[in-house]
Structure 1
């Protein structure tokens, strides 16, 4: 009976299946199907480092640079000049500069058609400065009032005191604090304790980073921007609810199984909701981009710019924080102590033991295969004769 190596498949074993590599899926296929192909929880240290860097940069900018406060918060003088002909913001800035020797804080076009006007925001001007600016703007553009009459009184000037700006600031901060507090209460009721902590951390992350981007870029903070920020916090809460609902569904009963850990199930949930979050974000920012393009640039409604900018920035940051920040934090909290931590250690230990057993079996198979192949490749008549073997024909002939 000939010897066969264990690599040879006998007829009773049936046809051998090819041991090729697992099929590879493209990036977009894994993204669309949510098959768990992206290591979000497994690479949480990287996302923690990235998130920490964003928070540190945002806080440094807020502390060192501060914010560009609008006239409603900082106080100052607002001048409204009716638009006519081919006027643009650079011409208005030049006329203002020639009158006072310095540029205004901002100049933007508001409204469209017959109601279009240029809104000039500057530091607080005294009566003499206001008169000089009004005269310079009238001489340069000869604006008309609503009745079509060219008159200097068509240029309106309003002064906003610092006291009024401080009151507006105080009310905005109160509104922000109340909103955040109510959101935290809802999260604490809606989710379990650990999910509540992760969702609140995601909420503050989004708030700090969005405010930091406003500080870095120098966007003007207006009441519209504050309203937009409150709206964005609501969007972040909605995104967290969607993601954590899927995590809760995937991890239900995981402690009674030993095939996957809590973190792996949470990672699968993050993958399954990743495409949904991207779709929601894209659908959400399309109207905002439309607002910026149509309302601000084409129609010249500059007052909508502040609302659109904070929503655009906040929705992008919120989509990142709900997947790549909130879910890893939740898993880290779960795996530090309690039944989830014990279950994770149990699953990993069982997996390690199974891996060691498979390695031992593979080594034994390789050793057996090598031994069988060596016996098959031994040339005839080589080596010592077997015990009890008869002499070869040549030796018997020599004896005779």
Structure 2
């Protein structure tokens, strides 16, 4: 037996709109003032990832870099079994060899190194490609939803998915979390998840509109509430399943996919309500501006 959610989702949506607008404004300010904390994938320089056999104090690493004169614009992140050094400039082969030799000699003889280098031209190309990927995905979704449903559904769905993507970007900017290629993969995955959940609700709205006698805005609102109620259990089960998997990756996964997992968790939490409280009420607002149809066409497809 299907559980029925007796709740006015449309009425409650204003609180979620306010919350999203506040986070968006904070995100815009943070992006304008601080920008994003680009990793080596999007910022020229060298990233040295070191697997260590013991805990290493940060000041020891700083001392080694000072001796090698490699202490300019360096960001050091330490962990229990890994250590990361990000240089804003590209290390030469000679500098890499000196760093490895000095680290093995003075800090940890069993340490192993992985060095990734991106030159300025490649960094710019990766940034542009990431933007193109998101834009192309968005345009494709608009065309698909417009053909399958109507333009109001398309606008509402694109706003919802861009909302989810921008919320993740805002959080990463506010807390200066590192943005790399895995972050872009996470954003594209979140967009795919968001549109999938939104289309399920929109498909139910379209189905219910075929048999609804819509004469007033309240009737439209009832259709949206009924449609969301009918798909709510499915939405909750889906988001909890995916969220549990993302949390497991975040807690037990390696450091190389930590930002991917974190972006997924953040995006899933925002996406959990965007289809219900952002996309559906927005469609209702757009549909409410449409001129009323005659009684014989009240059952026509929306």
TM range (shorter): 0.7 to 0.9
Q: 2:61 aligns with which of 96, 102, 116?
A: 96
Query: Residues 256 and 310 of structure 1: is their aligned pair in 2 closer, same or farther, counting only changes over 3 Å?
Result: closer
User: Which deviates the most, 174-183 or 246-255?
Assistant: 246-255
Question: Aligned pair in 2 of structure 1 residues 173, 108: CA closer, same or farther (>3 Å)?
Answer: farther
Q: CA 1:316 to 1:96, structure 2 compared with 1: closer, same or farther past 3 Å?
A: same
- What is the CA–CA distance in structure 2 between the aligned matches of 1:44 and 1:156, rounded to whole Å? 48
Matched, 1:105 2:71: no
* Residue 50 (structure 1) aligned with residue 19 (structure 2): yes
Q: 1:138 aligns with which of 94, 98, 104?
A: 104
Alignment correspondent of 2:236: 278
Shift of 1:266: 0.8
- Output one character per residue of 1:330-386: Cα deviation in whole Å (capped at 9) or x when no partner: 11111123227x99xxxxxxxxxxxxxxxxxxxxxxxxxxxxxxxxxxxxxxxxxxx
The DSSP-based 3-state class of the residue aligned with 1:265 is helix
Alignment match, 1:194: 152
Query: Would the alpha carbon gap of residues 160 and 33 (structure 1) be closer, same or farther in structure 2, given more than 3 Å must change?
Result: same
Work out which of the residue numbers 53, 76, 79 in structure 1 matches 2:48: 79
What residue is the counterpart of 1:397 in the other structure?
none
- Tell me, in whole angstroms, the C-alpha distance in 2 between the residues paired with 1:126 and 1:262: 62
- The match for 1:124 among 74, 78, 89 is 89
SS for the counterpart of 1:34 is coil
Stretches of structure 2 that go unaligned for 5 or more consecutive residues are 296-302
1:213 to 171, 182, 187: 171
In 2, the alpha carbon distance for the partners of 1:43 and 1:164 equals 46
Shift of 1:104: 3.9
**Which residue of 1 is the match for residue 299 of structure 2?**
none
Q: Which residue of 2 aligns with 1:339?
A: 292
Q: Please say if residues 46 and 89 of structure 2, whose CA atoms lie closer than 8 Å, have aligned partners that are also in contact.
A: yes
* Deviation of 1:80 (Å): 4.1
Question: Which residues of 2 match residues 1-400 of structure 1 at below 5 A?
Answer: 33-35=3-5, 37-84=6-53, 87-88=54-55, 90-91=56-57, 93-101=58-66, 104-107=74-77, 118-124=83-89, 133-144=99-110, 155=113, 157=115, 159-255=117-213, 261-295=219-253, 301-339=254-292
Cα distance in 2, alignment partners of residues 83 and 186 from structure 1: 49
Moved more, 315-324 or 273-282: 273-282
Highest Rg: 1 or 2?
A: 1
- Would the aligned equivalents of 1:124 and 1:159 in 2 still touch at CA under 8 Å? no
Report deviation, 1:270.
1.6
Counterpart Cα distance in 1 of 2:135 and 2:3:
39
Moved beyond 6 Å, runs of 4+: none
CA RMSD of aligned residues (A): 2.9
For structure 1, the 5+ residue unaligned runs are 1-31, 111-115, 146-153, 296-300, 344-400
Task: Look up the SS of the partner of 2:213 in the other structure.
Answer: helix
Cα offset for 1:304?
Answer: 1.1
**CA deviation digits over 1:241-294, x for unaligned, max 9?**
111112222222323678x61111211222232232122111001111111222
Secondary structure, aligned partner of 1:338: coil
Q: 1:158 & 1:47 partners in 2: Cα distance?
A: 41
Which range moves more in the overlay, 56-65 or 228-237? Answer: 56-65
Q: Distance in 1 between matches of 2:166 and 2:114?
A: 38
- The change in CA–CA distance for 1:61 and 1:70 in structure 2 (over 3 A counts) is same
- Corresponding residue for residue 398 of structure 1: none
SS in 2 for 1:100: helix
Distance change >3 Å, CA 109–CA 304, structure 1 → 2: farther
Q: Indicate if the aligned counterparts of 2:46 and 2:91 stay in contact, CA closer than 8 A.
A: no
Equivalent pair of 1:97/1:104 in contact (CA under 8 Å): no
